[in-house]
Amino acid sequence: MTDLIALLGARIPANLAPFMLANVTAPPVRGLPHGPDCISRRLGCPCGSWELKLRTACRHERRGLFGRKMVAAPVAPVFATCPVCGRDVLLFDPAQHGWDGRHGDGVRPNADDEAWFGAAPGEVIVSYSYRAEDEYRAMLAEGCPDPQDWFDCFAIVFRAPAAQPVLVLSQVCARRKATRV
């Protein structure tokens, strides 16, 4: 981990500020960004609960052999809800968060519906990255007050009690040439 990633990792992105955070190791889930430029945190509610429910937008897609199976694929925006106190907070929306969202270039995916991800509350882990070190160094040199909010990728993992972790969403948040991820 470079000094820049350590500096950005010590700051909390605005979309994670409403949560209690614990640094964790990224779970081994296919599609989850890994590496020294990725930061993983477990989310909790300020009321003290470390288990949350996720509510996502859904897009109906045909999958499987010959496209015979219709599934509801989770897409952003994603909300985290505490089952103890009922607090409901926007966790991630690409139209607002990350590099493109901060530039006003973020696009919210088309959605057909909204649904709870999983039947029970569970552990929620987010992973986000800062891959264009030169651009972040330039932002800091220019006096940018919130470079931690300009992450390149954002992913959400959910683990129900006694179950394997599942990738809910993995979104590239930077479509600039220097950082195609």
DSSP letter string over the chain? --HHHHHHHHSPPGGGTTSEEEE-PPP--TT---STTEEEEEEE-TTS---EEEEEEEEEEEESGGG-EEEEEEEEEEEEE-TTT--EEEEE-TTTSHHHHHHT---PPP-SEEEEEEEEEEEEEEEEE---HHHHHHHHHTT-S-GGG--SEEEEEEE-TTS--EEEEEEE----GGG--
What's the pTM?
A: 0.85
pLDDT for residue 110: 67
pLDDT for residue 44: 97
Q: What is the block-wise mean pLDDT of the chain (181 residues), using blocks of 10 residues?
A: 83 95 92 86 97 86 73 81 96 86 68 74 95 88 91 93 91 64 43
